[in-house]
Structure 1
Amino acid sequence: MPSLANKRILLGVTGGIAAYKSADLVRRLQDHGANVRVVMTAGARAFVQPLTFQALSGNPVHTDLLDPAAEAAMGHIELAKWADVILIAPASASVIARLAAGMADDLLTTLCLASEAPLVLAPAMNQAMWRHPATQANTQTLQQRGAILLGPGAGSQACGDVGPGRMLEPTDIVDGVTRSIAPAQVLQGKKVTITAGPTREALDPVRYLSNHSSGKMGFALATAAARAGAEVTLIAGPVRLATPAGVARVDVISTNDMLAAVERAADDCDLFIAAAAVADFRPAVVASQKIKKQDGNDSDVLRLVKNPDIVATIAARQVKRPFVVGFAAETEKVSEHAAGKLQRKNLDMIIANDVSDPQSGFNSDHNQVTIIDKNGELPLPAALKTELAAELVTRIAERAFPAN
């Protein structure tokens, strides 16, 4: 596990009852060797006094954007340059929204814009606020820019509600910050190809066959693999997601397009992760003009043909075969069907998940999966796809490259 010794952590504390936990967080960060400075918003000061954090950290607490005591009254620039990591705990819905919008209307948001340090957020808010589409969109935007989310947890809340939105416990946040500073380079020197998102099969110039895949899991895996030291090629179907930092992206539309791109990448690849939800069938004939509805005809027949099986094609290679990981998105008998695919397609590992659950299926930010390989089954607890991706990359690397 990487160390926090001598790391400079700038802790942002925002408004919310969870701010009381941040006092314990300061102490625990220091116990791991970190040097902590605290920035408090006006809302945070309504819950906890700055003197508490000053006494615990041994450093003055910063609250004002323009600090007359700072060099040239530009305290935010000094703090932005000082920090190795910016940790916001609790991160309220308000500060998440303002960061996503690129606002700089107080000291905390301003120094986040002025700093090149990694940004780590530990959200804390009412469960309805966390579930709101605006908050989900804002957190997704920040993650696409490289921010790391720790939590939130689920359980009873101060308002009496029960659900996701609790700030993680300080010990869990310390572990998350430690991993974010120096993630284990388990894929150092490896070339990894990952597919993500759906494919589209044209019916005519207007319509197509596809599925509900958002690409979030594949993009999270690409991010985690790059952070683990890999040279990553991400082959993406039509999705609206930003390219992860340090990742080479290839955009495709159809299954045949994706197969061609994968085969090119697989010629120089150590690990192939097939996370895309590939269309199994395509129309036998693609109409050159829009298909018109015929009056008096209440039904029609669409003839389909099978698409090539991308993951099975790569797994069947006799030369230049990478370690092959498939995904099985199932709605029933999840483990049984996934294990069958593992054997039938000659895969090295398969990741099974139940997409019938709206909390962990397509378009959700959460997922719950089971790893299946020759050693058996390993269920992983439900988590954010970003957190789950880091765990999966570690598990895959252990299996694919045991000598590393």
Structure 2
Amino acid sequence: MPRDVDVVTHGNSLDGKRILLGITGGIAAVESVRLGRELRRHGAEIHVIMTEAATKVITPLAVRWATQSPVDVQWSGDMPQLEGFDAILVAPATRNTLSKHANGVMDSPLSMALAAGTGNGTPILVVPSMHDDLFDDPVTIDLLEIIKNRGCSILISESEEGRRKQPSPEDIVSRLANIVNRDDKSRRVLVMIGGTEAPIDDVRTVSNHSSGRTGWSIADHLYRYGHDVFVLAGRISFEPKSISIPIITSTDPDSMKISTKDMIEDEIMNIDSVVCAAAISDFVVSDSKSGKIESGNDISLTLTPFEKILDQIPQWIKSSRGDNSGYVIGFKLLANSNRDQLVNAARSQIDRVGVSAVVANDLSQLTDDGPRALWVTSDNFEELKDTKHIGVAIDALLRA
């Protein structure tokens, strides 16, 4: 029977990672319970240091319950703040804490931990939370610039109700995982998700059932494992929430083609790999009408094939990145097919387009129990149990 303190595992991007969670005296410290449990959902091993001011907002007992970890407030002889950590997370980070760290003040276990972490190159993520008047003070901007130049990562929310509120625990843990897992094999990846809509008139469209959820799950997985991720979304059935992953929307086939090429060629984005999980329309209405076609009468539509965007992506990548080109992963969906037919269709796409690998599935696999898809390369294939394993396979290829 689950215990009161247990959490449901959501991922393993922080498995085995020792995280020092620093909690300072902002009102956002009340979010520490949710943040601590979210860290545990992704496998983090946590050690907590609270400032004296933080204990006036939330009790160490509550934090201890949420994190199931030691909570230090006072100095102790064994100096746990100097132990080796894989990352330091300070949330919330008050301006007072930012000022001490920027100016070398070391008057608490947390400020010593930050100084030591900076000295030994431990990744540090600080999450400032304060009123806009304080945040917009040039002194605050200078403090953030100083610690950024020393290697700290900073996560800041948009202004809401006159405050820079602490981002959601999901956003914080996602950014922390990205920082911890980043290495010299991390790539800059465009993930295309969702379906497209071909207009019949200004009201009606021809579309498909793609929700975009598989593509978003892949984007989230790749981001948590250290890649820079950009999402190009067609029509999707949900609202993706992330303050770390840029999302551009293009719902019709023509605009998606233009956006794909523009993003690949953008020198700032510097995209070197593409995951084409979008269900882009194979057909468009050749004679779409302006206005609204009058209802109640029979109409005939002429559908014409739309050029396959995937066929052009490898060449766009090669032209833009040259020797720094990465990988292109395609998707292939069939209906009423067997394994051999799926593998053959996927390899046909590899041969025709030059993609690196294909995620192939049958329509029945989207709802039935059993393997979620096949991972197909030119010389091998394997079953992928679920959406998570699709992300694992793509990540492994990107780091090959």
Find out whether 1:241 has 2:239 as its counterpart: yes
Are the structure 2 counterparts of residues 375 and 243 from structure 1 closer, same or farther at C-alpha, using a change threshold of 3 Å? farther
Q: Which residue of 1 aligns with 2:364?
A: 356
Are the structure 2 counterparts of residues 76 and 278 from structure 1 closer, same or farther at C-alpha, using a change threshold of 3 Å? farther
Q: Which residue of 2 aligns with 1:388?
A: 389
Which amino acid in structure 1 is aligned with residue 380 of structure 2?
A: G
CA–CA distance in structure 2, aligned partners of residues 328 and 209 of structure 1 = 20
CA–CA distance in structure 2, aligned partners of residues 353 and 187 of structure 1 = 32
| Matched residues, number | 255
Are the structure 2 counterparts of residues 285 and 181 from structure 1 closer, same or farther at C-alpha, using a change threshold of 3 Å? closer
Q: Cα distance, 1:311 vs. partner?
A: 1.0
Q: Cα distance, 1:188 vs. partner?
A: 5.1
Are the structure 2 counterparts of residues 389 and 145 from structure 1 closer, same or farther at C-alpha, using a change threshold of 3 Å? farther
**Alpha-carbon deviations, 1:220-265, whole Å to 9, x = none?**
1111222222221100012222243421110111111111111011
TM-score (norm 2): 0.53
Task: Find the residue that maps to 1:193 and give its secondary structure.
Answer: strand
Task: Find the residue that maps to 2:394 and give its secondary structure.
Answer: helix
**Alpha-carbon deviations, 1:23-45, whole Å to 9, x = none?**
9x9xxxxxx7979xxxxxxxxxx
Are the structure 2 counterparts of residues 339 and 73 from structure 1 closer, same or farther at C-alpha, using a change threshold of 3 Å? closer
Unaligned runs of 5+ in 1: 1-16, 26-31, 36-69, 86-113, 118-141, 149-178
Task: Find the residue that maps to 1:269 and give its secondary structure.
Answer: coil
Q: Retained in 1: the 8 A contact 2:314–2:355?
A: yes
TM-score (norm 1): 0.53
Q: Which residue of 2 aligns with 1:302?
A: 301
CA–CA distance in structure 2, aligned partners of residues 181 and 84 of structure 1 = 23
Q: Which residue of 2 aligns with 1:371?
A: 375
Q: Retained in 2: the 8 A contact 1:191–1:231?
A: yes
Q: Which residue of 2 aligns with 1:339?
A: 347
Are the structure 2 counterparts of residues 181 and 279 from structure 1 closer, same or farther at C-alpha, using a change threshold of 3 Å? closer
Q: Cα distance, 1:146 vs. partner?
A: 7.1
Task: Find the residue that maps to 2:331 and give its secondary structure.
Answer: strand
Task: Find the residue that maps to 1:18 and give its secondary structure.
Answer: coil
Task: Find the residue that maps to 1:219 and give its secondary structure.
Answer: helix
CA–CA distance in structure 2, aligned partners of residues 193 and 360 of structure 1 = 29
Are the structure 2 counterparts of residues 310 and 73 from structure 1 closer, same or farther at C-alpha, using a change threshold of 3 Å? closer
Which amino acid in structure 2 is aligned with residue 338 of structure 1?
A: A
Are the structure 2 counterparts of residues 310 and 143 from structure 1 closer, same or farther at C-alpha, using a change threshold of 3 Å? farther
Q: Which residue, 225, 233, 238 being the options, matches 2:222?
A: 225
Task: Find the residue that maps to 1:232 and give its secondary structure.
Answer: strand
Are the structure 2 counterparts of residues 72 and 233 from structure 1 closer, same or farther at C-alpha, using a change threshold of 3 Å? closer
Task: Find the residue that maps to 2:364 and give its secondary structure.
Answer: coil
Are the structure 2 counterparts of residues 395 and 337 from structure 1 closer, same or farther at C-alpha, using a change threshold of 3 Å? same
Q: Retained in 2: the 8 A contact 1:204–1:291?
A: yes
333-342 vs 72-81, which moves further: 72-81
Which amino acid in structure 1 is aligned with residue 301 of structure 2?
A: L
Identity of aligned residues (%): 18
**Alpha-carbon deviations, 1:281-321, whole Å to 9, x = none?**
110011012222465x5xx4311122121111112445225
Are the structure 2 counterparts of residues 294 and 73 from structure 1 closer, same or farther at C-alpha, using a change threshold of 3 Å? closer
Q: Cα distance, 1:209 vs. partner?
A: 0.7
CA–CA distance in structure 2, aligned partners of residues 319 and 224 of structure 1 = 28
CA–CA distance in structure 2, aligned partners of residues 84 and 19 of structure 1 = 12
Give the RMSD, CA atoms, in angstroms. 4.3
**Alpha-carbon deviations, 1:351-370, whole Å to 9, x = none?**
11222234269xxxx97121
Find out whether 1:262 has 2:263 as its counterpart: no
Q: Which residue of 2 aligns with 1:58?
A: none
Q: Retained in 1: the 8 A contact 2:192–2:275?
A: yes
> Where does 1:96-111 land on structure 2 (aligned, <5 Å)?
none
Are the structure 2 counterparts of residues 73 and 350 from structure 1 closer, same or farther at C-alpha, using a change threshold of 3 Å? closer
Q: Which residue of 2 aligns with 1:155?
A: none
Q: Which residue, 285, 288, 291 being the options, matches 2:290?
A: 288
Are the structure 2 counterparts of residues 284 and 380 from structure 1 closer, same or farther at C-alpha, using a change threshold of 3 Å? same
Q: Retained in 2: the 8 A contact 1:255–1:308?
A: no
> Where does 1:113-132 land on structure 2 (aligned, <5 Å)?
none
